[in-house]
């Protein structure tokens, strides 16, 4: 099953066990396996906005050198994003599919 949401020109997408950040305006994309995807949130600020970083985890920290890694969300966007993160974590916690 595929879950996705659009934030401005970016598409955040979970397909199976791969999380992707894609752009509809540039030749940009980042694919991260659910076992190493990380999310960090700051906020809300005085305007009710949240700053979110997305990237690969390395020793418990988000590796910012791995590529693009930030978005700003209003309260409604953050609520949708939080649901997507819950689904990503559920995919991670389910473990690999047995062969």
* Domain boundaries, given as residue ranges, for the chain: 2-94
Per-residue pLDDT at 28: 74
Per-residue pLDDT at 64: 65
Q: What is the pTM for the complete model shown?
A: 0.87
Residue 88 CB contacts under 8 Å (≥ 6 apart), including other chains: 14, 19, 34, 37, 39
What region does 17 belong to: left with phi over 0, alpha with psi -120 to 50, or beta? alpha
Per-residue pLDDT at 26: 78
| Rounded-to-10 torsion of CA 2, 26, 57, 13 | -10
> Which option is the CATH number for 2-94: 3.20.20.150, 3.30.200.210, 3.40.640.10, 2.30.29.30?
2.30.29.30
Determine the Cα–Cα distance for residues 45 and 59; give it in Å rounded to an integer. Answer: 28
Per-residue pLDDT at 12: 94
The strand pairing partners of 55, in sequence order, are 38
**pLDDT in tens for each of the 99 residues of the chain?**
899 999 888 899 999 999 999 988 878 788 999 999 999 999 999 999 999 999 899 888 888 655 555 789 999 999 999 999 999 999 999 988 776
């Amino acid at each position: 099953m595929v879950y996705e949401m659009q934030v401005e020109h970016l598409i955040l997408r979970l397909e199976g066990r791969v999380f992707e950040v894609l752009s509809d305006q540039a030749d940009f994309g980042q694919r991260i396996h659910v076992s190493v995807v990380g999310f960090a949130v700051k906020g809300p600020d005085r305007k009710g906005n949240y700053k979110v970083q997305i990237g690969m985890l390395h020793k418990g920290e988000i590796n910012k050198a791995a590529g693009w890694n930030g978005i700003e969300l209003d309260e409604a966007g953050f609520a949708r994003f939080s649901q997507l993160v819950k689904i990503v974590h559920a995919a991670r916690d389910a473990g690999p599919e047995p062969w």
